[in-house]
Structure 1
Amino acid sequence: MTAPATFALALAAAAIGLLVGLALARARRPRAAGQGPTAAELLDRIVRSSNNGVLVLNRFGDLVLYNRRAEALGLVRLNQADARARKAAERAADGDEPSEIDLSPLAVRGRGPAAVLGEVRPLGDGFTVIEAVDHSEAVRLEATRRDFVANVSHELKTPVGAIALLAEAVLDAADDADEVRRFGEKILGESTRLGKLVTELIALSRLQGAEKPPDLTVVDVDTVVAEALGRTRLAAEAADIDITTDSAVDLTVEGDRTLLVTALSNLLDNALAYSQRGSPVSISRKLVDGHVEVAVTDRGIGIAEADQQRVFERFYRADKARSRATGGTGLGLAIVKHVAANHGGEVRLWSSPGVGSTFTLRIPAHQGARPPGQRDEHVVPATAQDSTGGGTS
C-alpha cells in the first residue's frame, strides 16, 4: 500500500472514530428540558400500562419483561412465569405462527379472573411474547344469561302446568257447581300470577342495561310514597299490617315517576310478604349528601348475611318456601335495583335474622332541593342505627 493510501485510510478511521464517539456522548448526555422520551421508553410505557397481561420469555423460559396486569391475571408469581406459559413459549420459539393457550386460573377465588386467554407469538432469536386477555366478565354474563333462561322456563312452566291441570279438573267436575267454582278461582289465581310474571319480565328487560330514563321530570317524593301506599293498601289490610310513615317532606328527584312508584311498591310488597301478621312496617324519607333516601323497614324474618348480596338477583329467593306461599315472582328486588341504577342511584340493605330488614332507595336529589325540617320515624333497631347509620348501608 502506498503512503498516500495509508494516510487516507488512517484519516478515514480517525473520522469514523470521532463520529462514533460523538454519537455515544450524545446518547449518554442527559436530555435537555422539554425533549420527549425515546421510542424505546414509549414502548416500555405502553407495555406496562396495557390492560392486557404481557410477558416476554427467553429460550430458557426465563422472564425478560412483564407488566403488572400479567401479575394480576396470575401469569407471574414470585418472578416466575406460569408453567403453561413457559411450555407454550418453548413450543412457539422456533416457529413463526402465533398460537392460543388457555391461561385461566386453576382455582377461582371471589371475583378474580376466571377466564384468561393468551396468544403466544415468537419474536425470533429464541424470544417469545405472551399477551393475555381477561374474558371473565363475558363468561359470567353468558352464565347469567343461561341461568336466566333456565329460571324463566321453570317459572313459566309452573303456572302454565297448574292452569292445564285445573282446567282438566273443571271438565271432570262439570256437573258440580261448587267444584267448578273452586277450581275456577284457582285458575284465576294462577293466571294472575302468570300475568304478573310476564309483566315483570318485560319491565326488567326494558330496565336492564338501559341508560337513565330519557324523559326525566321533576318528581315529588311525597307523591311517590302516596301512590306506592295506595298500590299496597289491600295487601297490607289482608296481612293485618299497619304501614306507618314519617311526615311529608319537600323533596324532589329527577326521574320517571311510574318507575319510582313501581320500585317503592316492590319494596313494600317484599316487606309485607316477609313479615308476620300484625307486625309493623314503616317508611321514612330524608335528604343525605345530595341524595333522597326512602327507606322501608320491617320487623320480619330478616335475611342471613350470606344471602344479602344475592337477594337482588333475578329469581333468587332467600326463603323459597315462603315465596311460594306468598306467590312472589322473585323479580321484585331485581327491578328495584335496576330502577335505582337507571336513576343514577342505588338500593341499600341492612338486615338481621329474626330482627327485620331495611331497604333504602337512594336517588340523587333534584338540584335546588333543600334539607327539610322533618321528623324521622324510621323504625330501626338501635344496634342497626349504630353500625349502619339508620340501616342504609
Structure 2
Amino acid sequence: MVYPPYLQRSWQRSHNLTNAQQEALEMAVSEAERMTHILQNLLDLTRASHSMMPLQSESLILNDVVADIAEMTKKFEHRVIHLEVAPFPVRVKVDRNQLMQALSHLIGNAVKYSNADELVSLQLTQADSWAVIQVSDKGDGIPLCDQSRIFEPLYRVDPFGARSTGEAGLGLSIVKHLVESMGGKVII
C-alpha cells in the first residue's frame, strides 16, 4: 500500500510517538487504506460500465476456479467455505481475472455480512447451457424493498453501516457489470 508522503514519514518514525499519536496515525493509515479501496472500486466500476476492461476470454473449467477462490477465502478470511461443485467439468469461455474479481466481491459480501462462526456456501451447477455459481450465507439477508436496487452504484442497504464496514456500495455494481460483460447474468 502506498501512503501519502507525510503518512510514510510519520509511520517510519512511529516509535518516537506517544500512544495517542500512534493511535491517531493508525486511524489515518486505516482511513487512507479505506479511501484507496473505494477509489480502486470506482475505477473498476467505471472501466466495467464503459467496456474499458478488454476481455481476455479463455476456456476454463469452472470447477477449478471455484475451488481456487474458496481456498483463497478460507486462507485469507479465516472462514469455513462449504464448497459444492458439479461432479462433471463445467466448461466456460470467460475472462479469468474478471470472473475472479466478481466472485471475490460476492464472497467478500457473504463473509462481511454474516457472523464469523456461520458457514458461507459456494455452489457450482449447470442448468441447460448456463453455468450457475451461487454464493450464500446465513446473514440477515437483503430486505425485499432493497433487492431491486442493490446493484446500483453507491446504493447501500444500511447507509449508516458504511463506516463500520469500510464499503461505499460499489462491489455489487462491479459484479453486475463484470458478469454481464462476459455474457452472464446476476440474480438475487
Q: Same fold (TM over 0.5)?
A: yes
What are the within-5 Å matches in structure 2 for residues 1-393 of structure 1?
176-210=17-51, 213-233=54-74, 236-237=77-78, 241-247=79-85, 249-349=88-188
TM-superposition CA deviations, 1:301-320 (whole Å, max 9, x none): 11111100100111101122
Q: Which runs of 5+ in 2 are unaligned?
A: none
CA–CA distance in 2 between the matches of 1:227 and 1:185?
A: 33
Computing the radius of gyration from Cα coordinates, the structure with the larger value is 1
CA–CA distance in 2 between the matches of 1:234 and 1:339?
A: 25
| Partner SS state of residue 344, structure 1 | coil
The letter of the residue matching 2:19 is: D
Structure richer in helix, relative to its length? 2
- The structural deviation recorded for 1:266 is 0.4
Give % identity: 32
Q: Is 2:45–2:174's contact at 8 Å kept on the other side of the alignment?
A: yes
CA RMSD for the aligned pairs?
A: 2.7
| Partner SS state of residue 347, structure 1 | coil
CA–CA distance in 1 between the matches of 2:80 and 2:38?
A: 27
Q: Is 2:122–2:135's contact at 8 Å kept on the other side of the alignment?
A: yes
The letter of the residue matching 2:144 is: E
Q: Is 1:211–1:342's contact at 8 Å kept on the other side of the alignment?
A: no
CA–CA distance in 1 between the matches of 2:174 and 2:163?
A: 19
Query: Which residue does 1:43 correspond to in 2?
Result: none
Distance of aligned partners of 1:193 and 1:223 in 2 relative to their CA distance in 1, 3 Å threshold: farther
The letter of the residue matching 2:44 is: A
Distance of aligned partners of 1:317 and 1:190 in 2 relative to their CA distance in 1, 3 Å threshold: same
The letter of the residue matching 2:111 is: L
Give the count of matched residue pairs.
178
- The structural deviation recorded for 1:203 is 1.2
Distance of aligned partners of 1:176 and 1:206 in 2 relative to their CA distance in 1, 3 Å threshold: closer
- The structural deviation recorded for 1:234 is 5.3
Q: Which runs of 5+ in 1 are unaligned?
A: 1-162, 350-393
- Greater relative contact order (CA < 8 Å, ≥ 6 in sequence): 2
